[in-house]
Amino acid sequence: MMKGALADITKAVGHTPIVKLSDRVTEGVASDIYVKCEYLNPGGSHKDRMASNMIDEAEKTGLKPGGYIVEATSGNTGASLAMISAVRGYKCVFVMPDKMSQEKIAALRAFGARVVVCPTAVEADDPRSYYQTAKRIANELAPNCFYANQYHNMANPAGQYKSLGPEIWEQCGTELDVLVSGMGTGGTITGAGGFLKEVNPAIKLVGVDPIGSLYYDFVKSGRITKPFSYKVEGIGEDFFPSTMNLKLLDEIVRVDDKECFLKTRDLVRLEGLNVGGSSGAAVAGAIKYARNSGKKESILVVVCDSAQKYLSKIFNDDWMRENGFLGEEQGLGIVRDILGKTPQKLVTAAPNAKVREVIEMLKSMGISQVPVVEGAKLVGVVAEVDLLRHLVSGNGTLDSPVGPLAEGDYATVSPDTKIELLQSVLNDAKLALVLDKGELVGVVTKIDLIEFLAKRAA
Ligand code: PMP
């Protein structure tokens, strides 16, 4: 064999460069922001690292060449598994949600994989969901079949722990202050971030979450709120994968589709970084973190996959315009417009307020639910129906505290959230709580939105 050659393409995984971002895209923040170019891995993303580890572990427990690998994947894990399978002699079946781009599906088929497409807009435990479909196919193909199950397979974070974490440490050492990553399965932030925290506990981990995902509200308030759909692919979840350890996070920031996609386009156009949507999300999140941190830090952002996979979406002006992501088109306004210029006098209850007092409050104010707030921290929302259930159950009295009755059946938005997005939020959630830098500043229900739109039209 020639001395400069690798035995096969899987040996080329890793050793991706770190590149400093210029002030063309960093919006003048004091910190230095760098990107770890995981999109340059041979399978096209950071998932090459965990896919190698998952297959290594499966081979130890009996997977043999000629066998099947089945996975529920948004594309990147599939590409990595398919690349390794081509070299090691496995057949792949991938199950994907239908919001994924055609390029991703075609790329998997090019590796010889079978791809099954399932509806996105169903609950994770619905038999039609891509998670459940993958499980069923794996059962049908057993026994020489490995269901990779990246959301619950600890070989996923372990792969990033063994590969990405040490590589970042070798490249950055103690100069690194903050690691920023988008979060899907959590393999990256839990694995690589966990490794970095072990070698240097001073390193901070910042997770980036799209509006609509469960992670942000859960970290901020411990509540499982109502998830809703968004366009950025690969990050955010509507359930909690066991591969994600949210306790490791020092901070979590939230981004919306428009800022993700505009930042992605800037990274390609202004920096020559050929990255995809979750990379724009992670960089936009890193900039938000940097703006709030008040320190000059060295921040490393993991940029996961490439622009190539999103040519028909993020890099297609028609698609961007149709979805309201391009230009300053006249929209319906933002949530701040509904709240009005003067700060709302918010009606809230403390967790130790008695059921009797809250009933009185709802009655006298003519409202049907009230946020429960402890100090500045949002605990949940208690609604008429919760009080009713409590009283009917026979276990509760009028003197019980309302704290334990508070529910998570709300979504959270910011004052800058667009009305169009608020409307889709309120399709799924009963009410939207408006948080500004973590503090509750307003409550918006469907009727508030209707009133606002009616006034606007008058
Ligand atoms: N970006 C993209 C494009 C992805 O496909 C994924 C994985 N779903 C992630 C980010 C998040 O990585 P992880 O699953 O390790 O949290």
- Does residue 369's CB lie within 6 angstroms of at least one atom of ligand 1? no
Would the pLDDT of 125 be above 90?
no
Q: Which atom of ligand 1 is nearest to the CA of 304?
A: 1
pLDDT value for 59: 96
User: How far is Cα 97 from Cα 74, in angstroms, rounded to an integer?
Assistant: 7
Every domain of the chain with CATH number 3.40.50.1100 lies at 9-40+175-322, 47-147
Predicted confidence (pLDDT) per residue in 298-321, tens digit = 999 999 999 998 999 999 999 999
How much is the pLDDT for 343? Answer: 63
CA distance 88 to 64: 9
**First and final CA of the chain: distance in angstroms?**
78
* Whether pLDDT at 344 is above 80: no
Amino acid type, 79 = A
CATH class for the domain made up of 335-457:
alpha beta
Class of domain 9-40+175-322: alpha beta
> Coil, strand or helix: which one is 183?
coil
Q: Which one of 35, 37, 185, 309 would you pick to mutate in the ligand 1 pocket, going by the greatest count of ligand atoms within 8 A of its CB? A: 185
For atom 2 of ligand 1, the residue with the nearest CA is: 234
- Is the distance from the beta carbon of residue 185 to the nearest atom of ligand 1 less than 6 Å? yes
pLDDT per residue over 59-94, tens digit each? Answer: 999 899 999 999 988 689 999 999 999 999 999 999
Q: Range with the lowest mean pLDDT among 82-91, 230-239, 382-391?
A: 382-391
Taking the CA of residue 160 as reference, the ligand 1 atom at the shortest distance is 15
- Going from the Cα of 346 to the center of ligand 1, the distance in angstroms, rounded, reads 38
- Evaluate: CB of 234 within 6 angstroms of ligand 1: yes
- What does the mean pLDDT of the chain come to? 92
Q: What is the mean pLDDT of residues 452-456?
A: 87
Distance CA 180, CA 289 (A): 9
Tokens matching residue 18: 């770190």
Q: Is the CB of 187 under 6 A from ligand 1?
A: yes
Rounded alpha-carbon distances, angstroms, from residue 387 to 3, 370, 373, 398: 74, 11, 17, 9
Is 64 part of the annotated catalytic residue set? no
Question: Could you identify the residue written with the tokens 């759909």?
Answer: 229
Tell me the pLDDT band of 329, cut-offs 50, 70 and 90.
low
Fold for 47-147, please state it.
Answer: Rossmann fold (3.40.50)
Whether pTM > 0.75 for this model: the answer is: yes
159 lines ligand 1 (CB under 6 A): no
C-alpha 186/C-alpha 432 separation (Å) is 26
Strand blocks (E) in 242-392: 251-255, 298-303, 369-374, 377-383
The alpha carbon of 443 and the centre of ligand 1 are apart by a number of angstroms equal to 32
264 lines ligand 1 (CB under 6 A): no
- Residue pair 221/378 in contact (Cβ under 8 Å)? The answer is yes
- For the chain, where do the domains classified as CATH 3.10.580.10 start and end? 335-457
pLDDT above 90 as % of the chain: 68
Please pick, among 36, 47, 91, 204, the residue that the annotation labels catalytic.
Answer: 47
**C-beta 183 within 6 A of ligand 1:** yes
What local confidence, expressed as pLDDT, does residue 74 receive? 65
